[in-house]
């Protein structure tokens, strides 16, 4: 048992650093370091750079274009990527639908979809939640009725993150009859967003951004060949995907980077003739978050180490999601607290790339409260933290 990097791992770390140093666009990293979302163009440009290097899909099997990295290499990559301010890749394609396609899709589907995902030619979004199906996802009502070689899809999906950019959507739809058990009546469909009958309407969140959408389906015709796997087996595939989704949601490296920035900023924030970083009450709060994050880092490393020995990411990933999001939200709040009065002004235009007006408030302050409001979503999405707790009770404690 030891935590030292081997010679090869140190060499890999050097290679990662050199790559990020040389290839990461400065404007993109500046934005990421301020906690802002890069534009669609900036994101796609970066993902294409990653693909050129062969590092777009560390989570994929090597035969489909994965990197073959072990858990330590992935840890190094995440740590360095975050420290340099490189954007996280958009998860919907490469991390969410792709594992379902290469695990449960047929050969033709793999050939058709995977290359465009790894090359970032196609932007995917997720069609799971519905206005009346949140935590109880299996109660979804968007229906797909077969008509010849097509399904005809009707219904509404919601909380569709960045659906406004998307070319394709992967959906859970109900194909079984009303008398069938929900979990055995759902299929997994891939739908081209340009198909007639689809409309996307934005939902504005508490930070004023249209990050999510409602997607309406009105007699949308989808070829049956776009169904992944068997009819009415979609729930199984989705559950598999959810476990994959959760392993990334701890965002340990991101939280570490944010805490480092917070501590540096607190050392330059006035506090009654002293600096905030010297205030014992503040120190105590920051230390507690930092310690929790340190523990979580090792919980994640332990989980990754288990996965690399061949085990699937199991119910432990629920714990990573749960504590990871709690830590993220604790940092959100510390940022607001540090901003003091400058947590109040809402001047979103000064966060734009082309803003050249007067800046209101110090660095990190302008977006502190909007980010805090927005990120209350973290403990709700991906299966709310209460759902994760239920999973721990059932799958780990046998309750």
Residues that bind another protein (CB under 8 A): 1-5, 9, 71-72, 75, 280, 283-284, 286-288, 290-292, 294-299, 301-302, 305, 316, 319, 322-323, 386, 389-390, 392-393, 396-399
Cβ proximity to another protein: between 121 and 283 the closer is 283
Determine the 3-state secondary structure of 365 from DSSP: coil
197 token code pair? 């009958």
Select 3 or 22, whichever has its Cβ closest to another protein.
Answer: 3
Work out how close the CB of 2 gets to another protein at its nearest, in angstroms, rounded to a whole number. 6
Nearest residue (CB) to another protein, 288 versus 353: 288
* Least distance from another protein to the Cβ atom of residue 394, Å: 9
- Smallest distance from the beta carbon of 120 to another protein, in angstroms? 31
Q: Between 206 and 295, name the residue whose CB sits nearer to another protein.
A: 295
End-to-end CA distance of the chain: 33
| Residue 321 contacts residue 329 (beta carbons within 8 Å) | no
Contacts of 298 by beta carbon, 8 Å cutoff, 6+ apart: none
Q: Is the CB of 83 or the CB of 392 nearer to another protein?
A: 392
For residues 287 and 359, which CB has a smaller minimum distance to another protein in the complex? 287
Shortest Å distance, C-beta 359 to another protein: 31
Q: Minimum Å distance from CB 321 to another protein?
A: 11
Pairing of strands 150-157, 198-203: unpaired
3-state secondary structure of 274: strand
Nearest to 150 by CA among 70, 96, 82, 219: 219
Tokens representing 260 are: 């480092």
Nearest to 65 by CA among 44, 83, 47: 47
Nearer to another protein, 209 or 329 (CB): 329
Beta bridge partners of 198: 217
Radius of gyration of the CA atoms of the chain, in A: 22
Cα torsion 181, 184, 187, 188: sign: positive
Torsion sign (Cα): 305, 64, 194, 182: negative
CB of 88 to another protein, least distance (A): 23
- For residue 209, report the phi and psi dihedrals to the nearest 5 degrees: -105, 145
- Rounded CA-CA distance 331/315 in Å is 25
CB of 126 to another protein, least distance (A): 26
């Amino acid at each position: 048992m030891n935590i030292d990097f081997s010679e090869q791992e140190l060499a890999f770390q050097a290679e990662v650093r050199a790559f990020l140093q040389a290839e990461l666009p400065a404007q993109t990293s500046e934005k990421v370091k301020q906690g802002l979302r890069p534009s669609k163009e900036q994101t796609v440009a970066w993902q294409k750079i990653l693909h050129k290097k062969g590092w777009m899909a560390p989570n994929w099997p090597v035969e489909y274009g994965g990197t073959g990295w072990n858990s330590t290499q992935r840890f190094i990559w995440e740590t360095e990527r975050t420290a340099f301010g490189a954007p996280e890749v958009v998860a919907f394609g490469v991390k969410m639908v792709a594992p379902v396609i290469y695990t449960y899709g047929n050969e033709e589907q793999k050939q058709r979809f995977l290359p465009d995902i790894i090359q970032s030619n196609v932007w995917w979004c997720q069609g799971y939640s519905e206005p009346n199906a949140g935590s109880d996802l299996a109660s979804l009502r968007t229906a797909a009725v077969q008509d010849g070689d097509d399904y005809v899809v009707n219904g509404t999906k919601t909380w569709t993150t960045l659906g406004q950019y998307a070319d394709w959507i992967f959906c859970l739809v109900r194909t079984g009859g009303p008398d069938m058990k929900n979990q055995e009546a759902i299929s997994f469909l891939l739908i081209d967003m340009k198909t007639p009958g689809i409309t996307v309407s934005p939902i504005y969140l508490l930070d004023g951004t249209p990050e999510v959408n409602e997607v309406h389906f009105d007699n949308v015709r989808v070829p049956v060949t776009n169904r992944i796997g068997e009819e009415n087996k979609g729930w199984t595939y989705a559950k598999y995907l959810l476990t994959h989704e959760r392993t990334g949601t701890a965002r340990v490296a991101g939280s570490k980077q944010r805490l480092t920035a917070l501590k540096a900023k607190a050392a330059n924030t006035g506090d009654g003739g002293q600096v905030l970083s010297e205030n014992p009450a503040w120190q105590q709060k920051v230390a507690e978050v930092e310690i929790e994050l340190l523990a979580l880092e090792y919980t994640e490393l332990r989980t990754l180490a288990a996965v690399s020995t061949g085990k699937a990411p199991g119910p432990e990933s629920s714990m990573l999601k749960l504590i990871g999001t709690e830590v993220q939200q604790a940092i959100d709040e510390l940022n607001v607290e540090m901003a003091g009065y400058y947590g109040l002004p809402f001047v979103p235009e000064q966060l734009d790339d082309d803003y050249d007006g007067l800046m209101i408030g110090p660095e990190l302050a302008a977006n502190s409260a909007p980010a805090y409001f927005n990120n209350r979503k973290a403990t709700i999405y991906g299966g709310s933290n209460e759902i994760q707790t239920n999973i721990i009770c059932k799958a780990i404690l046998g309750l």
